[in-house]
Amino acid sequence: MKRLVLTILTLTLLFSLAGYITAEGLEKKTVSPEIINEIGQYGGKYTLALTSAPQSFNYYGAIDWNIFVIMGNVLDSLTDENPVTKEVEPSLAKSWQVSKDGTVVTLNLRKGVKWSDGHPFTADDVIFTFNHLTLNPHAEANEVNRYQIAGEMVRFEKKDDYTVEAILPAPYGPFIKILAQAPITPKHKLEKYLDPDNPGAINQAWSTGTDLKDIVGTGPFMLKEYITDQKVVLERNPHSWLYDSAGNQLPYLDQLVYLIVKNNEVALAKLQAGEIDQLQIKGKDFTTLKKAELAGASFRVLTGSPVNPTPSPTHLSFNFDVENEALREAFRNLKFRQAMDHLIDRDRIIEEVYNTLAIKSGMPVVPTNKAFYNPEIEKLRREFSLEKASQLLDQLGYLDTDNDGIRELKDGSDFEFNLMTAVNLQDRVDIASLLKDNLEAVGIKVNLNLIKSGLVFDKALAGEFEAMIMAFGNQSDPQFRKAIWQPGRALYYWHLSTMSEDKKPILQNMYPWELEVFNKFEQGQVTMDPVKRKAYYDDWQRIYAEKLPVIFITKGMDLYVVQNNIGNYFLNDDNIIVRVTDTIFKK
């Protein structure tokens, strides 16, 4: 009986992800159960805010976050990244196979899918998109760098109307996830913009002045109206191939509306007036809005574990190549960095800096990223303890021999260093101040160096710092940010001597554990098996937790406000805010 139940559940999952064939020949997809907690009802509009107007409706025509947000509802990719788990799922490609040598990926396209104008979707659209947009170096928002492997480009070849082969110059582990970030566009609508003498002409396609009927997609919504600098209105795509578990076509909403609101305070006022249905908020607004909710306001304030990997968790770094030889000796010593980890009072930081609205961070993968997070690192995190920090510093011989309250370095000078962070980012200033107090409590003098955030980044890459608190942009797949976390790469700023002037890794300058991390990233890059890939990145996180090349501190919570009449906008059992426009509905 148990085996029968397991078989049924397995088949149900396979049908859910890959889809099933209808009488009309459409291979539908039932949305993942993680993004829906109740069957919705049809009708109504859902209104959000954009900080500025889109420059275009061409996803690849300009580097503009507003385009990506809007067109993410109109265009689909070959694969999807689950917004809750960050795991890869089928999308326009219902399935795929990888050759034994990892260099050929066969993509089986979903049959029966139509563009919003009724034109059939086929392999021709996939080949067109990659050849003229995604891999076109003249397209403003191209993805050429992500598809260049071992110095060569990935090639896409049509095998038949519903089969495409991707030919990789070498195995590349994150390839399937990369596909989730390359929306497929309609050849029959965009090929008229091609100019053989001007490959950049494609950037002129789908300007904001285009007749919106000419802009089509396979996504759940299609463009209906654009009022310059005021709003963008999308409506339900009648040819959507997404369905809920009850067999209802998605989306539920009649319209998705983006109001262009350039001022955050104005957006907040519109939300409180009921003119906007949801809004991401800052910690400073949380208390006021939560009190309003408890007093009977028409909205809910949700606090969720962070899902977005950007920015990465805030971290403390020490310059392994600092000019001062005595400081360099200290910073490179593991016991010193362990002492520093003991001086970070994360509970107090979460309480006082974030008003409880943060978590103890990953290394640097956030815990909600089930595809890559290694929970074992939680056992390796050191407790806050001035006593343990002092003991480690004593063991290293950093003592206060002249009884002036400051320990001495090995050269006899006071143990003193500058701690740099961004003056315009209050949370980092507050963390630096708390850390300064704790360091001075154990006999190390700290001078705060507060400068603009852009200069902090420049100083880091130039190696012109002693210690620093900062955070990076990040990605859900570690390989996409190897330039930061892999030794010998361009953004591995705390040990720049592991990289040559021509940006090549210098293996002999790496510590054994750094060389191990380097190799884990190299193995994760060429391994196509997702289980094996996770094992490599699990090891990377463990090594970071043990060796502390940088010391991760905290990651702010996801904070959103949503009107009470919005369904399928909820906090799940893992404390993640689920808010996907495909399944949201108006009650």
Q: Mean pLDDT throughout 102-124?
A: 98
pLDDT over 60 (residue 21):
no
> For residue 251, which of 572, 568, 573, 574 has the smallest C-alpha distance?
568
12 or 286: which leads in pLDDT: 286
Residue-wise pLDDT for 39-57, tens only, equals 999 999 999 999 999 999 9
Give 100's pLDDT tier (boundaries 50, 70, 90).
very high
In the predicted structure, residue 8 carries a pLDDT above the cut 90: no
Whole-angstrom distance, CA of residue 380 vs CA of residue 268: 41
What pLDDT was estimated at residue 13?
39
Using alpha carbons, list the distances in angstroms from residue 163 to 105, 113, 123: 10, 14, 6
To the nearest whole number, what is the mean pLDDT of the chain?
94
- Sorted by sequence, the CB contacts under 8 Å of residue 335 that are 6+ apart come out as 392, 395, 396
Residue 254 has pLDDT above 80, yes or no: yes
Q: What is the H or E stretch that residue 5 is in?
A: helix 2-18
**Kind and range of the H or E run holding 577:** strand 577-579
Residues 149-177, mean pLDDT to the nearest whole number: 95
Q: Tens of pLDDT along 485-500?
A: 999 999 999 999 999 9
Cα dihedral 140/145/148/154 (nearest 10) = -40
Q: Which two tokens stand for residue 40?
A: 């919705």
Domains of the chain: 35-53+228-298+562-587 (3.40.190.10), 56-208 (3.90.76.10), 315-556 (3.10.105.10)
Predicted local confidence at residue 24, as pLDDT: 66
pLDDT of residue 22: 54
Provide the pLDDT confidence category of residue 309 given band limits of 50, 70 and 90: confident
Report the candidate in 574, 573, 579 with the shortest Cα–Cα distance to residue 561.
Answer: 579
Q: What is the pLDDT of residue 85?
A: 87
Does residue 504 register a pLDDT over 90? yes
- Is the pLDDT assigned to residue 459 strictly greater than 90? yes
Tell me the Ramachandran region of residue 568: left when phi exceeds 0, alpha when psi lies from -120 to 50, beta otherwise: left
For the chain, the first-to-last Cα distance in angstroms comes to 40
